[in-house]
Structure 1
Amino acid sequence: MPIAFSANLGFLFTEYALPDAVRAASRAGFKAVELHWPYATPAADLRAALNETGLPVLGLNTVRGDLDKGEFGLAALPGRETAARAAIDEAIAYARAIGAQNVHVMAGRAEGETAERTFADNLAYACTAADAHGIGILIEPLNARDVPGYFLTDIAHAARIIDRVGAPNLRIMADCYHMQIVGGDLLTRLTHHLPKIGHIQFAAVPDRTEPDHGEIDFSWLLKALADAGYDRPFGAEYKPCGRTEDGLGWLKAF
């Protein structure tokens, strides 16, 4: 069975307005899309493009917070619980409006047991709110080189948080780019945690551009993960070297 791919429209097709980026992803052969922060786009306009193309939305992110203060997510920040839960509510409402399957709750820059407890409490809130609408919640480990100080950097830590929260709709968004930088050994680690993984993303390492070069042989790895039981679209979350369409040779090759 052919592997399916999702276009992350936070990085791909950014020369278009978001509804037109959906249409461009469909024309290119992607079978799903995912979003970063789509909130400036009216949900009705985006939903119209999704209905037209038939592409599902795999997920979107909660807002990052106060960018002037360097915030990159809110859910693990002690003292920011009200803002974190407002961001969760906003993301779930937008996900409902466009039919998105998941919300990625961004942890933010924090450390320590108080941050861990805050993150777990906010995730429990998110899981309860999302479950009422059949929406999943995702958490994503990010590498500390790209996002210094981010609370969640390791997939094993993410798995422990999922066990702590104990919600059936809480899963890991595993990005091969971040995981390679943090510790490598991708097939072993990903297959070990596969029961807790809700989505897998990929990009070339170390430059995070088109995935047909660099440290990782994705044509091999993604097939191996599919053979291991991963049966959802893989998310292409990379920064194109030029126009997205000009760099899609990997899509047919893979």
Structure 2
Amino acid sequence: MSFSANLGFLWADRPLPEAIRAAKAAGFDAVECHWPYDVPTEAVTAALQETGLRMLGLNTRRGDVAGGENGLSALPGREEDARAAIDEAIAYAVTINTPNIHVMAGFTEGRDAHETFVENLRYACEKAAPYGITILIEPLNRYDAPGYFLTTTDQALAVIADVGASNLKLMFDCYHVQLMEGDLTHRIEALLPSIGHIQFASVPDRGAPDHGEVNYTHIFSIIARLGYDAPLGAEYKPGGDTDATLSWMNDA
């Protein structure tokens, strides 16, 4: 197995370039992040080139975080802001050679929200395609993100079908899917053709994957048996020093 360090949570107390270097020193095969936009692309590129790691993915901006926003692309009436965030993410991703962008839906509901999300995703996929970038959508659980538009893999598949773009895929976060749906083994097996990236964390505390209700030794073996060989994203909250939480990686 190969693993990607999600630097939104791991080494989050360090500047992004230093977190990239820490991930390399710890033995990760790649990195990913949440919102890198306040860090100059030159500094990120330098750290990636120095370490030989690739930044696998980043998110579109959430919007007015202080006002409670968590994504823009499913919000009716916010299309201009959503597409500006998409354009910004693509430009940043192209500069640092990142192949995946998670387009965040936001807090909303209803059919109008679905149609808005579909149209904004069509825009994102069309804009991203010339650069070989895959657009990802991720269901979030109702406990951590109550009111988020996208909550289940079935809903995500319906959105993907309506968009109809070959470069739109599912971000399968084992943590969120377990909390909302369970049955991870069968869900991974059934959804693999639609999956663009896999992430993981313990359930229910979102800590390192060495405890909790999910047996990740089993899950990792299933993923390997299915032939999925891209790095798996370690998106967990270390609750302290990240380096002290990495024994799971040696076991894996």
Amino acid at match of 2:175: Y
Structure 2 spans left out of the alignment, 5+ residues: none
Amino acid at match of 1:193: L
Per the TM alignment, residue 223 of structure 1 is displaced from its structure 2 partner at its CA by 1.4
SS at match of 1:193: helix
SS at match of 2:212: coil
2:26 alignment counterpart: 28
Contact 1:141 1:152 in 2 (8 A): yes
Residues paired across the two proteins, number: 252
Contact 1:59 1:102 in 2 (8 A): yes
For residues 175-214 of structure 1, the aligned pairs below 5 Å read: 175-214=173-212
2:41 alignment counterpart: 43
1:95 alignment counterpart: 93
Distance in 1 of aligned mates of 2:82 and 2:198: 24
SS at match of 1:33: strand
Distance in 2 of aligned mates of 1:152 and 1:120: 12
Contact 1:210 1:241 in 2 (8 A): no
Distance in 1 of aligned mates of 2:5 and 2:202: 15
Whether 1:246 and 2:248 are equivalent positions in the alignment is no
CA distances 1:80-122 after superposition (whole Å, capped 9, x unpaired):
0000000000000000111111110000011111000000000
Distance in 2 of aligned mates of 1:189 and 1:224: 11
Distance in 1 of aligned mates of 2:157 and 2:229: 20
Q: Please point out which of 9, 18, 21 is paired with 1:11.
A: 9
1:131 alignment counterpart: 129
Structure 1 spans left out of the alignment, 5+ residues: none
Q: Please point out which of 148, 163, 169 is paired with 2:161.
A: 163
1:66 alignment counterpart: 64
Per the TM alignment, residue 7 of structure 1 is displaced from its structure 2 partner at its CA by 0.1
Contact 1:26 1:55 in 2 (8 A): yes
Distance in 2 of aligned mates of 1:35 and 1:27: 17
Amino acid at match of 1:162: I
Per the TM alignment, residue 15 of structure 1 is displaced from its structure 2 partner at its CA by 2.2
Distance in 2 of aligned mates of 1:14 and 1:65: 21
Q: State, as a whole percentage, how many aligned pairs show the same letter.
A: 58
1:122 alignment counterpart: 120
CA RMSD of superposed structures (Å): 0.7
Distance in 1 of aligned mates of 2:53 and 2:189: 27
Per the TM alignment, residue 137 of structure 1 is displaced from its structure 2 partner at its CA by 0.3
Distance in 1 of aligned mates of 2:181 and 2:170: 16
Distance in 1 of aligned mates of 2:67 and 2:151: 21
Distance in 2 of aligned mates of 1:237 and 1:54: 21
- Which TM-score applies when normalising by structure 1? 0.98
SS at match of 1:92: helix
CA distances 1:123-159 after superposition (whole Å, capped 9, x unpaired):
0000000001111100000001100100000011111
Q: Higher mean Cα deviation, 159-168 or 82-91?
A: 159-168
Q: Higher mean Cα deviation, 211-220 or 225-234?
A: 225-234
Distance in 2 of aligned mates of 1:130 and 1:56: 18
Distance in 2 of aligned mates of 1:113 and 1:14: 37
SS at match of 2:90: helix
